[in-house]
Amino acid sequence: MWRTFFLAVGIALAIFGGEFLIVERAVWAEAANDSDIKNVSAYMLDQGETEEQTSTDFHPEPWVPWAMLSSGAVIILYCFSVPRD
């Protein structure tokens, strides 16, 4: 069970590292209130920035994707080298 867990962690790290190689920054918007989502179609179509909406930018350092890829690869290789029970 632990082998499978760490294999999943290694694969996730490798995938996120590959994504961060492609993406320069990520923008997270805050969740909307229930009152904002009463008319879902209007909410989805209106993507304009309002005063209430705030966002958080994440700019990864240049070494972060490579660190995630390499640590994910090491974990994956380790999971395949551990003998099965």
**Predicted local distance difference test score (pLDDT) of residue 19:** 92
Instruction: Give how many domains the chain has, as a whole number.
Output: 1
Q: Which residues form the domain of 24?
A: 2-81
Mean model confidence pLDDT for the chain: 81
**Predicted local distance difference test score (pLDDT) of residue 84:** 80
Q: Grade residue 75 by pLDDT with cuts at 50, 70 and 90.
A: very high
Average pLDDT (78-82) is 92
pTM of the shown model: 0.67
d(CA 4, CA 76): 10
**Predicted local distance difference test score (pLDDT) of residue 45:** 63
**Predicted local distance difference test score (pLDDT) of residue 40:** 59
What does the H/E/C string look like for 18-65? HHHHHCCCEEEECCCCCCCCCCHHHHHHCCCCCCCCCEEEECCCCCHH
